[in-house]
Amino acid sequence: MNYIFYFLIVISIIFGAINGRLTDVVNSILTGAELSVKVAFSLIGIMAFWLGMMKIAEECGLIKTIAKIIKPVTKRLFDEIPEESPAIGDIAMNFAANAFGLTNAATPIGLKAMEELQKENIDKTSASNAMCMLLAMNTAGFQLIPATVLAVLIGIGYKNPTEIIAPTLLVTTIAFVSAIILAKVFQRFWTIQTNIPPLPPGEGRISTRRMSVRNSGEGIGGETCSNK
């Protein structure tokens, strides 16, 4: 993420200068910063509502029941998460909300799932495999009906908007399935998290030290987490 952040900003400044749009680039800092706070604040109310609802769902055992029903699927996708973790039920609810296009409900529920996954996470600053899988499911944006797009098409007098639904569903399914497969494949080949499996004493010590050095380099991330 460090490189992406650097790359995005440096490239923008260089190309802004080449295109003679440096003023636009500088102004966009302000609009972007304003927009991000607006987005975060617009989430507060709906976030509180769904977190409240999900708390009831958890207390009355609904989340556990859902988790039990979809266990065969989640066992494969989230193999590191204990079966009784409320995260599994949250993930199922998040997927269902996304599929029905209820983005307002899907985000708070997904964030609750992230918090549950964070409890199982060994290195609190680095994404666990389960988190990457949940993110893969969410960034692929699986949706049964593309409601916003349909609204635009109907608005311009598209005669048969339904003809767009089937191809969209096909494409989104392809993207969704490949996201899950990719996450599974990367999980195997990507370097493990900071959690180090028991190694022979000598080797283990070296890699532990290397890891701790790398962690202390990223002080900011570590601090925000330990504050929580």
Partner 1 sequence: MFQQIMNLLSLWALPAILLLILTMGLAKKVPIYETFTTGAKDGFKVAVNIIPYLVAIIVAISMFRASGIIEMLELTLSGLLCRIHVPADVIPIMIVRSLSGSAALGVFSDIANTLGPDDYATKLSAIMVGSSETTFYVLAVYFGAVGISKLRYALLVGLLADFIGIVAAICVCNWMFL
Q: Contacting partner 1 (CB under 8 A), which of 71, 73, 76, 139?
A: 139
Work out the end-to-end distance of the chain between its first and last CA atoms, rounded to an integer number of angstroms: 21
Rounded CA separation 168/9 (Å): 33
Give 49's Cβ-side CA count (13 Å radius): 9
Restricting to residues 89-118, name those near partner 1 by CB under 8 A.
Answer: 93, 96-97, 100-102, 105, 107-108, 110-111, 114-115, 117-118
Q: Is 193 in the site for partner 1 (CB under 8 A)?
A: yes
Applying CB under 8 A, the site for partner 1 has a residue count of: 115
Would you say 41 or 202 has its CB closer to partner 1?
A: 41
Q: Is 45 in the site for partner 1 (CB under 8 A)?
A: yes
Structure tokens at 123: 């290195």
Number of Cβ within 10 Å of residue 52's Cβ equals: 11
Restricting to residues 8-27, name those near partner 1 by CB under 8 A.
Answer: 8-9, 11-16, 18-19, 21, 24-25, 27
Inter-residue long-range contacts of 145-154, CB under 8 Å, 24+ positions, other chains counted: 145/100, 145/101, 146/101, 147/101
Rounded CA separation 125/119 (Å): 12
Q: Contacting partner 1 (CB under 8 A), which of 73, 122, 145, 199?
A: 145
Would you say 29 or 206 has its CB closer to partner 1?
A: 29
Of the candidates 61, 85, 60, which has an alpha carbon nearest to the alpha carbon of residue 71?
Answer: 85
Closest contact distance (angstroms) between CB of 221 and partner 1 is 4
Q: Is 127 in the site for partner 1 (CB under 8 A)?
A: yes
Would you say 118 or 196 has its CB closer to partner 1?
A: 118
